[in-house]
Amino acid sequence: MQSQEAGTSSPVLDLCINKAIHVGVEARKRTQINRGSVSIGSAAVQLAGDLLGGLDGRHILVVGSGEMGMLVTQALAARDLTAIYVANRTHGRAVELARKIGGKAVRLDELRRYLILSDVVISCTSAPHPVMKVEMLKEVMRGRCWPLEGAPRPLILIDIAQPRDVEEGADRIAGVHLCTMDSLRAISEQNIEARRCEAERVHGLIEEELGRCVRLLNRQAAGNGLGLLHSWAERVRVRERDRALQRLGEADERTREVVDDLSRVLARRLLADATLAVRAEAEAGRVDAADALVRAITGEEPGAAAPHQHPQITGDEACTQKNG
């Protein structure tokens, strides 16, 4: 992080940022908060996949390369499609958008040909009149008949333009399945409601992780007291080690190492329970009690410990800070 490199961060800020990132990742892994399309463009892609049982290996034609066309093609680019065609009144815009998503730009005068080739057509132009008229679509459907089949291959038209790109009456042509903005709004509203339910689960996860974060912050608040405790123990250890070595007289190097190791192990074992007790008090928000334990062991005066770097935080205070 740049703030860490610049020296402007702090342990508390680092902990909060890391915890927030962790909770965000866990929320997506443990819930379905990010499932389902809520934008019209993404809903159009979801609807196409639902109607076809998946988009893998399909041919998709997007008519229009404005803002909505860009959103649609970006959603399509993440799918395993055989081909994405982009048609637009201004061919240069179609070329630019097709290049971004690895598709093929199509001129509007080639529209009939690519309607015959495509499985799904998503249309979102800003034209004031229909781009795909009934007579043209009838001709297209005749071109979608295989020689030995009596019916044309189905063509799904998803019209999300305002005003409509597909002429009224197109849905009465055999093999044509026309979906409009009403279909997409229903999908979006359904997905929004599903996400709202998942948001309740995420809220519970956040509350759970908030408690852990508060305990960690309060545990850090005991850092100065524990530092004082271990510094005091080290001074005592070194003093008593040196006294023992003096009593041994001319001890060899091996003996000195053994005495030093013994004193370290004893100090560590003796402090283990005290350290756990101090941390437990701090994590519970009782930092004053944690300080009292340290002072009871070390015999230091109340003012001997350095001021706490982190104020104690209770769960209620954390919720207030979060909601405030």
Last residue of a domain, one of 146, 174, 192: 192
Let me know whether 81 and 134 are in one domain: yes
Instruction: Count the domains in the chain.
Output: 2
* The token pair that represents 113 in the structure block: 């040909």
Of 77, 136, 128, 84, nearest to 106 (Cα)? Answer: 84
- pLDDT (tens digit, 9 = 90+) per residue, 16-31? 777 788 778 877 777 7
Is a pLDDT exceeding 90 seen at residue 132? yes
Q: What are the CA-CA distances from residue 72 to residues 5, 15, 101, 179, 189 (Å)? A: 40, 39, 11, 15, 18
Does the pTM surpass 0.85? The reply is no
Integer Rg of the chain from CA: 35
CA distance 144 to 147: 10
Contact between residue 227 and residue 309 where contact means Cβ atoms under 8 Å apart = no
DSSP state of 33: T
Task: Give me the pLDDT at residue 302, please.
Answer: 43
Contact between residue 132 and residue 154 where contact means Cβ atoms under 8 Å apart = no
Let me know whether 48 and 154 are in one domain: yes
Task: Give me the pLDDT at residue 131, please.
Answer: 92
In CATH, what number is assigned to the domain containing residue 164? 3.40.50.720
Q: What's the whole-number mean pLDDT along residues 295-303?
A: 69
Last residue of a domain, one of 148, 171, 192: 192
